[in-house]
Structures are given as C-alpha cells and as structure tokens.
Amino acid sequence: GITAGYYTVTDNSTTTLTLATSPGTTGTDVSITFFHAGMTSTAGYQDLKTDSGAILWGQKLGRLLVIYMQRSIYNVFQTNSSTAPFNFECVLPDLGLYAPRLVVAAAGFHYFVANDKQIYAYGGGKNLIPIGDPIKTEFFDNINKATVDTSYRVRDRAFAVHFRDIHCVGFFVPTGTNTTCETAYVYDYVRDEWLDKWTFPVNFTGWGEYEGPTGTTATVKANYLPILGDATASNAKTYLFDYLSTSDGATAINSSIQTGDVIVNLQNEHRLQDFWVDAKGNASDAALTCSVSTDGGSTWNATTEAKTLAATWNCYHYRQNISKYAFRLRFSDATAGKRFWLGRVSLTPSDLGKVP
C-alpha cells in the first residue's frame, strides 16, 4: 500500500502529487491534484462590445449572473473549465434595460423595466413574464424622457426597490418635468397585481434598507423598512418609509387597454368614423375614453371621446376620423380609480370610405 507519512511540496507551480506503492519507485497508483496559495490561472473573459450598446447593470439570479445591456440580456454560467470558468450567453437579444437602476431582485426573480416599453418578471434564460400591461401606458407616457445638457437622460435617475415586508417591488420614476423621482408604481408579486401609485411631497435619488427597525407604529410590524434619500440640496434628509397610506398619499393608477394594429386594407387607405364597443363599468360614474394612434402607438390623437358606462354590459358607439392603412385604439378610464371591462370592438369599412 501507500507508505504513511508527510509529503511536502515546496514548489508553488506544482499542482499534482503522485504517490508510489513503495519508497524509491515511480508508481502511479494514486495521484492527488490540489490547489494552494500562490497558484495562478487564466479566469477567461468575453468581450461584450457588441451592437447591443452599453452594459447597464449586472445582478445575481440564483446561480446565474445576469448582465443587462441597452439592447440585450446575457446570462453568465460557471463551467468546469480551468482556462474559461465562465460562459457568457446572449439569451434575450434585442431586449434591454430601459434605465440602469430599474431592476430589482425579489422572490427568485428579477423585476425590470425593458426598452420595449414593458415591465417583466425574469427567471433566467428565456423565462420572461410580462407583468406591466395594466400600467405600462401611463408609466411610459408620464416618465420624464428629457435629456439634460446632452449628457444624461432624466429617466436614468429612476430606481427600483424591494419592499420585503409587503412582498412588493416599486419603481420610482421622475414624471412630468421633475428631474428626480417623486412617483412610485408598486407591484405585489405574491398576488400578481399592481397597487395604487404612490406620490410623495419630496423627490428621491436613491434608497437603502433598515433592518430590524424599532419604534414603528402599532399597525406596522416590519423587519425591513426602506430608507429614501431626499433630492433637495437644502434638505439632504433621509426618510424611513413606513407604508402608512394616511401619510404617504397613494394615488390611483389610470387603467387602459390598447389593441394591436388593425389593418384595414393594404391597397387603399380608408376613412373610418364609426365603431362599436361592448363594455361595462364597476360604478355608475365609470367612463371609458377612446383615442387613436396611426403610428404604432408612438403618438395618440388629441381628440378623445368618453362614454359613461353602466354596471351591466352595453354596446357603445364612438366616432373617430381615421385615414390610414392601419391603426390601433386605446381605451382608458376617464376617472382614476374606476374600473371597466372591455368586450368586442366592431367596425365595418366600406368602399365609400376609401381615401383617393
């Protein structure tokens, strides 16, 4: 067998020790490979200078590292190779991050705002779940898209937060002409629903987390509370956010439904004016507003028409002047906080409506 005793390695470049069956021989019965201080190896790398733009963020997701670029998403895997221990794979080409800090990890997923104007829950690989449909129209219409001194985009100051104790994630964004964040859109990932939009009397630039806070109110039993930093230079305050609606001022989110593009005729533009919609509201004062886009949803016509909805299904008649080969419709609640249900949308183009 193997002779008992100590075997000393004096050379840091040695990685394998072979034990012989007896002293003075060179048998190959047992070979031990080991690592020790002073060893060096090549970690390997992959150049991500591609047409996908800049690297905006990187965050762990289970055993993966997810790299978010402007127009693609990479997964980084560990390998068994000693010369290239990591593998970089572009799993979602053409899809990227809308702003550098609009991604947050929670409950085994990443929740992020994407460059295709959608909000997703992401589980790695191609496991992508769109969750933003109920609020994406308002979210992207309201966020400040301006560029300051050609050096940065205002939306790049937006950030995402994990509200652990209420199992939610929040996306803080600057809206209107604000250049820092005063509005948060909050998603409950357990119930799969968007909560009220939170608006604040001060603007924020970032957040942290207070573990095991003390002195909270009797109605708030929290283990982790978010800390928000005031953007006002004269204040420079830090706020502990306690989730109390009486002091935090929640605001209802407008709901909307947007159709895909409706192709009327590929040979002729048609002028359409009349169409009918099956709908109902959750209250007698609920109203449904319709607007039209002829450029794929980039812009919407200023002329809108609202119909007061009954609490039961009814058919409602709208008139819009549409002169295009294709168009899409957007239906919104005219009053924030009201709900509506949308059914069939009917239209009947005729040759009399052809545009010469």
- Enter the pTM of the model: 0.62
pLDDT < 70 stretches in the chain: 1-45, 210-225, 230-237, 242-255, 264-273, 283-285, 302-304, 334-338, 348-356
Closest by alpha carbon to 229, among 247, 252, 206?
A: 206
pLDDT, residue 249, reads 44
**Which residues make Cβ contacts (< 8 Å) with residue 105, sequence separation at least 6?**
59, 60, 61, 111, 162
Token pair, residue 12, equals 């840091």
* pLDDT score at 348: 66
The pLDDT of residue 269: 60
- What pLDDT does residue 155 have? 93
Q: Which two tokens stand for residue 113?
A: 């705002």
Per the CB < 8 A criterion, the answer to whether 287 and 338 are in contact is yes
